[in-house]
Amino acid sequence: MTPILLILAGPTASGKTDVSIKLAQHWNTEIISCDSRQMYREMSIGTAKPDPAQLGLVPHHLIDNLSVHDYYSAFLFEQDVLSLLKDLFIRHSIVIMTGGTGLYMDAMLNGIDDIPDPDPEIRSMLKQRYESEGLENLLTEISILDPEFYQQVDKKNPARVMRGLEVCLTTGIPFSSFRVKQAVTRNFDIILTGLELPRDLLYQRIDRRVDQMIESGLEEEARLLYPMRHLNGLNAVGYRELFDMFDAKSDRDEAIRLIKRNTRHYAKRQITWNNRYPQMKYFHPDAIEEIINLVSFFDSGGDKTL
């Protein structure tokens, strides 16, 4: 029988951690995290990492496996997950992957190209140029070095523009030449599910979670990480706003307000990303039995287009 990777997506604060644990307990299986920030050992409170009690209920993978000083990418994530699944599918017919990093999820669904690592000095130089010159000059340069990528890139997204430029400058080859996106085949089936809630309820949960993070010591965690704020992994909601507070750009109340606002914006982007997958089936976080029934139907020979 073909093993199944059950992907559980959804915006931040939608309940993915609790639902994935309940599902893993039902099938006596294990969970792979698909969250690019929960991998970092130094970031716990601000990433809503499962707490020790939750981690003790079900084996989890790709949590606390990196330092914020480590380089990582969607390509490396794909390779790590495939390596894990090779072992996990020996013991389990179903494995759960959950998290909110859309690019990592897409790497498992569609594969990702092996793009060379950027030169750290070039990456740092481009960040400095962006801060001093703005985005327009970087767009002009990428239009010359890689016209094909220039036509495709979101020209309002500095991270995407700088990513293309850093590969061009590191390798001397257009970034677009690495992005061949060949179709991938997997030796396992994938069921793609997502959690959804009414928008007002989701926003209430986000606000409540931020308050809980502050009460749990997010400010102290961010202060410890402040000397490393230039690292890419720390460019995350919840930390950026507190770093600005430490730099006296805002006060504490304003920092908390901005964390809540920016987390809501992040959730909206996650929802938009997930809507690109017509095969995704959506469930309320309380609908555990409905998700189990979907997988049972699929596993018994039901609609393989799910």
The secondary structure of residue 37, as a DSSP letter, is T
| Annotation: CATH topology of 120-178 | Histone, subunit A (1.10.20)
Helix (H) / strand (E) element for 200: namely helix 199-216
pLDDT of residue 235: 87
Read out DSSP for 80-102?
A: HHHHHHHHHHHH-SEEEEE-S-H
HSE-up of residue 287 (Cα within 13 Å, Cβ side) = 16
Side-chain-facing half-sphere of 92: CA atoms under 13 Å:
21
Residue-level pLDDT at 181: 62
**In whole angstroms, what is the distance from residue 20 CA to residue 15 CA?**
9
Phi, psi of 41 (to 5 degrees): -60, -35
Given this chain, do its domains 4-112+182-299 and 120-178 carry the same CATH topology? Answer: no
pTM reported for the whole predicted model: 0.82
How much is the pLDDT for 177? Answer: 82
Burial of 19 (0-12, 13-18, 19+ CB in 10 A): buried
Could you say which DSSP state residue 64 is in?
S
- Please identify every stretch of the chain with a pLDDT value under 70, giving residue numbers as ranges: 114, 179-183, 301-306
Q: What's the topology of domain 4-112+182-299?
A: Rossmann fold (3.40.50)
CA distance 222 to 77: 25
Determine the pLDDT at residue 301: 67
Check if the beta carbon of residue 20 is closer than 8 Å to that of residue 8: yes
> Can you give the residue ranges of every domain in the chain?
4-112+182-299, 120-178
